[in-house]
Amino acid sequence: MKSVRIKVYGIVQGVGMRPTVARHASACAVTGYVCNKGPFVEILAQGEEDDVKKFIDKIKYEPPKRSAVLKMDIKEKDPDEKYKTFEIIESSKVEGEIFVSPDIAICDECLSELYDKNDRRYLHPFINCTSCGPRLTILDSLPYDRPRTSMRKFPMCSVCEKEYYDPSSRRYDAQPVCCNDCGPSVYIAGTDIKGEEAIRTARSAVALGKVIAVKGIGGFHLCCDAANDAAVERLRQLKSRPHKPFAVMMKDIDTVRRYCKTDPFKEEILTGHNKPIVLLDKKEGEGVPFLSEKVAPGNPTIGVMLPYAPLHCLIFDYKDDTLVSPVLIMTSGNVSGAPIASTDEEAFSMLSGFCDLILSHDRDINIRTDDSVTDTLDGKLYMIRRSRGYAPLPMMLSKEFKGELVAYGADLKNTFCIAHDNLFYPSSYIGDMEDMRSSEVLKSSVIKMNKLLETDPEYAVCDLHPRYVSSLLAEESGRKIIRVQHHYAHILSCMAENDYTDEVMGIALDGTGFGEDDTIWGGEILRCSLDGFERAGSIAPFDHCGGDLASREGYRIALSMIGSIYKDGSEDVIRVLDLCDLNAFRAISKMIEKKINTVKSTSTGRLFDAVSAILGIRKTSTFEGHAAMELQFAAERNINEPVIPDIEYVRSGSGRKIVATDEIVRFITDERIKGEDPDKLAMTFHLMLAEGAARCALDAAGDIDTFALSGGCFQNKLLLTEVKKRLEKEGKKVLIHSVVPPNDGGVALGQALYGMNKLSKIGG
Ligand SMILES: [Zn+2]
Ligand SMILES: [Zn+2]
């Protein structure tokens, strides 16, 4: 007989953990007890060795739907007492971290009540229960109780109160519980239109092809009919956003199946309780209903989510005669780069120029939260933007750290991260720091999260870049500063989410980041430990001329590369490729020669932009990653067998190895001039880059057998898969991201890990 004590940490309160555990115990013939200790659930399990093992697996793999198990502590115990049954017992709470739950999408029971004419919450836009509804976004401070949420202004009616105090009710202890009599109400902002009439007005506006703003759980969306070309085009013009894909919300999973290719795993995420935006391949051909091409122009995929707030459901389906499209654009209600609007004032100032009316409500959003965006890879999540439904769930690392700090992240796709001992709390998505409003929100969100987590860190971690706004805010905070190089932080974030703290070979393929030698980095092979890193290799440096302009105008990087590869023959190459007129090329060459506004760069993002321009796929970008994405799409639609030439992929440089990306560009350019198909060359480029990066890292690895892949370019799953494959073929272990984005949204977590390691050493 075996006896074990199990502690389960995470979101384990108010999610039905104890009854589920008791059910598993009886299925496995295990005796003992389960009790709620506050920060964790404690289980004592006795039984035959195999049964106990089965029981532990069941808790691990079949936890209650709304729970999030961060860690299970399992210890063998002397069976000093023999248990004949398995019981749920009450016990005194112990001190410790209580985890804040992310917001939870409307559950099936609430959804069916919403449309049940006989239910007292029929069509109630704020229906929720213990297993669904807003959490983080309505919270002021802990513990999570109604008076500390934005529901405090809505006293419960007697019927709601009865449910709230009745342990047999689905709304027992559900803080945001309310009904048509006592809950918040919806209205059209700036008018007298309220309640049912407001919903009808908004629905008919959408049906007529207008653009509306809708206040949801974590902020406002801009919404219009995605099957109405004119409406989508108008929204693009209003937002001055010509190409960047819009996310859509589809009425239900059947609608998704009509428009997109799905698989069981993708459907599980779409319909699950987080309800993020999931990237799906568009369906093509006969029988697929019309969707405006302008939703995601030139893009074979589309970001899709299902309704997650009851108000969203009511926009699709209501007791009136209006017919609303089953596919609506639902894009974050913000100015490009700014945080999502969360109050009526912000909606008026930021969004009124973009929309015809604003459907709002009077439940305040305390912490704004954008929709999360996720892709999938090999049956796992592959996160692009981690926010609603996931934040502020912490990562729990096995290694013990002591102390607390706040890491300010990067300037693009900013998130921050608060760390407290071995818990790391990455924040919701904030925005791009070049927008003043984002930096204000970063400042205020750090204060709010510190209040929620009851932390007051003495230390701040920030990027090495001297002019990053996020670094300046860290300095202004008055905290002691720890600085971390950008790409090292990327690799650390990948290590953190994999709970891996030994040495790794990191491959960081990224846009741009400030390097230790004052040049721009972004294609780095780094030997990393928690204490520091060594730059073991990089892609071939090129001249980055024209500052930020070059990230919009990728052809400028192409000109610089061609100039240095082909020297006197450059003008012929540029003429054949029709890259630009020769005067522009001569002007850029002059600037590079005289080093005017020119720095050395190893940015993989810019390399992608340049190759995209050389292949005639896209010369300029209207959003970050635009040209690079189209290069990836070209490679993915290629149907020819690519030829991988046997060039020298890695050479020695000064003090480090160099991935011969200049030779790769030369090969691709030569082939293009010979008339080779651009799609095939796009694929060839991906494979050659993967080959070069993998070989360089393998050469530099020595006895390190674990590799970590991070950086924004690894959002490109083709590149990721090809690099990973090559490393695994050599028997290496490869860490990749899953719930933390590979892009700059993940940097804060890596910064925090570096800082905590340092603090723990100072402390000890
Ligand atoms: Zn519910
Ligand atoms: Zn009520």
Peptide bond between residue 143 and the one before it cis (omega within 30 degrees of 0): yes
Q: Lowest-confidence range among 95-99, 287-291, 586-590, 669-673?
A: 95-99
Which pLDDT score is estimated for 419?
Answer: 96
pLDDT for the residue 32: 95
Identify the band that residue 694 occupies on the pLDDT scale cut at 50, 70 and 90. very high
Check whether 169 has a pLDDT greater than 70. Answer: yes
Q: Quick one: what percent of the chain has pLDDT higher than 70?
A: 98
Q: Is the dihedral of CA 58, 64, 69, 74 positive or negative?
A: negative
Closest CA to 630 of 643, 619, 640: 619
pLDDT exceeds 70 at position 95: no
Ligand showing the shortest atom-to-Cα distance for residue 170: 1
The closest ligand to the CA of 134 turns out to be 1
Ligand nearest to C-alpha 163: 2
Among the listed ranges 69-78, 110-119, 317-326, 469-478, which one has the minimum average pLDDT value?
69-78
Distance 97 CA to ligand 1 centre (A): 26
Among the bound ligands, the one closest to the CA of 160: 2
In the structure encoding, which two tokens stand for residue 299, read together?
A: 């893009």
Q: Is the pLDDT of residue 763 over 80?
A: no
Q: Is the model's pLDDT at 639 over the cut of 60?
A: yes
Pairing relationship of beta strands 2-11 and 40-47 according to DSSP bridges: antiparallel
pLDDT in tens, 310-353: 999 999 999 999 999 999 999 999 988 889 999 999 999 999 99
Alpha carbon of 581 to ligand 2 centroid (Å)? 70
155 CA to centre of ligand 2 in angstroms: 8
Q: How far is the CA of 128 from the centre of ligand 1 (A)?
A: 4
pLDDT at site 619: 95
Question: Does the structure show a pLDDT above 90 at 462?
Answer: yes
* Banded pLDDT at 459 (limits 50, 70, 90): very high
Question: Terminal CA-to-CA distance of the chain, rounded, Å?
Answer: 41
Among 482, 487, 478, 314, CA closest to 407: 482
Q: Are 510 and 487 in contact (CB under 8 A)?
A: yes
Instruction: Using the predicted structure, report yes or no on whether residue 94 has a pLDDT greater than 90.
Output: no
In single-letter form, the type of residue at position 442 comes to L
Tens of pLDDT, residue by residue over 132-150, are: 999 999 988 776 778 889 9
Distance from the CA of 109 to the center of ligand 1, in angstroms?
6
Q: How far is the CA of 90 from the centre of ligand 2 (A)?
A: 29
Q: How many angstroms is it from 16 CA to the middle of ligand 2?
A: 24
The percent of residues in the chain predicted with pLDDT above 90, rounded, is 85
Distance of CA 262 from the midpoint of ligand 2 (Å): 39
**CA 508-510-513 angle, 5° bins:** 100
Does 119 score more than 80 pLDDT?
yes
Q: How far is CA 144 from CA 80, 390, 393, 441, 629, in A?
A: 37, 17, 15, 23, 42
Q: What spacing in Å lies between the alpha carbon of 14 and ligand 2's midpoint? A: 20
CA of 557 to the centre of ligand 1 (A): 53
Model confidence band, residue 643 (pLDDT cutoffs 50, 70, 90) = confident
Q: 131 CA distance to ligand 1 centroid (A)?
A: 5
Q: How far is the centre of ligand 2, averaged over its atoms, from the C-alpha of 183 (Å)?
A: 6
**Apex 238 CA angle, 237 and 244, nearest 5:** 60
Is a pLDDT exceeding 60 seen at residue 33? yes
How many angstroms separate the alpha carbon of residue 116 from the centre of ligand 1? 14
150, amino acid identity: S
Query: Which of 721, 620, 61, 708 is CA-nearest to residue 375?
Result: 721
| CA-wise closest residue to 350 among 440, 444, 283, 276 | 440
Report how far ligand 1's centroid is from the alpha carbon of 454 (Å). 29
**Low-confidence winner among 168-182, 295-309, 639-653 (lowest mean pLDDT):** 168-182
Q: What is the mean pLDDT of residues 11-19?
A: 77
Q: How far is the CA of 622 from the centre of ligand 2 (A)?
A: 49
How many Cα atoms are found within 13 Å in the side-chain-facing hemisphere of 279? Answer: 18
pLDDT of 194: 97
Q: Mean pLDDT, to the nearest integer, of 186-209?
A: 98
Q: Which ligand is nearest to the CA of 105?
A: 1
Span from the CA of 146 to the centroid of ligand 2 (angstroms)? 14
pLDDT at 483: 98
pLDDT band per the 50, 70, 90 thresholds, residue 14: low
- pLDDT at position 522 is 98
| Ligand (nearest to CA of 106) | 1
Distances (CA, A) of 196 to 128, 245, 300, 314, 364: 19, 32, 38, 10, 20
Q: According to the model, what pLDDT value does residue 96 have?
A: 67
Residue 174: pLDDT band by 50, 70, 90 thresholds? Answer: confident
Residues with CB under 5 A from ligand 2 (ion): 157, 160, 179, 181-182
612 pLDDT exceeds 60? Answer: yes
- pLDDT for res 190: 96
Provide the pLDDT for residue 37: 80
The C-alpha atoms of residue 625 and residue 604 are separated, in whole angstroms, by 11
Mean pLDDT of 436-454: 92
65 CA distance to ligand 1 centroid (A)? Answer: 12
Among 16-25, 41-50, 727-736, the range scoring the smallest mean pLDDT is: 16-25
What integer is the mean pLDDT of 494-520? 97
- pLDDT mean over 296-315: 97
- Kindly state the average pLDDT of the residues 588-594: 94
- Please name which of 99, 142, 760, 96 lies closest in space to residue 459, comparing C-alpha atoms: 760
Output the pLDDT for position 93: 64
* Nearest ligand (C-alpha, residue 310): 1
Task: Enumerate domains of the chain plus CATH numbers.
Answer: 2-89 (3.30.70.100), 186-361 (3.90.870.10), 537-735 (3.30.420.40)
- Tell me what the mean pLDDT of segment 510-520 comes to: 95
Indicate which ligand has the atom closest to the C-alpha of 109: 1
As a whole number, mean pLDDT of residues 219-236 equals 97
CA of 249 to the centre of ligand 1 (A): 20
**Mean pLDDT of the chain, nearest integer:** 94
Give me the pLDDT at residue 281, please.
Answer: 97
How far does the centroid of ligand 2 lie from the alpha carbon of residue 103, in Å? 21
Could you tell me the sign of the dihedral formed by the alpha carbons of 395, 399, 402, 405, in that order? negative
Answer with the residue of higher pLDDT: 358 or 550. 358
Distance 129 CA to ligand 1 centre (A): 4
| pLDDT for residue 550 is more than 80 | no
For residue 98, what pLDDT is reported? 67
129 Cα: distance to centroid of ligand 2 (angstroms) = 12
pLDDT at 270 (0 to 100): 97
- Closest ligand, as measured to the CA of 162: 2
pTM over 0.75, yes/no: yes
**572 burial class (0-12, 13-18, 19+ CB within 10 angstroms)?**
exposed
Q: Which ligand is nearest to the CA of 181?
A: 2
Q: Which ligand places an atom closest to the C-alpha of 174?
A: 1
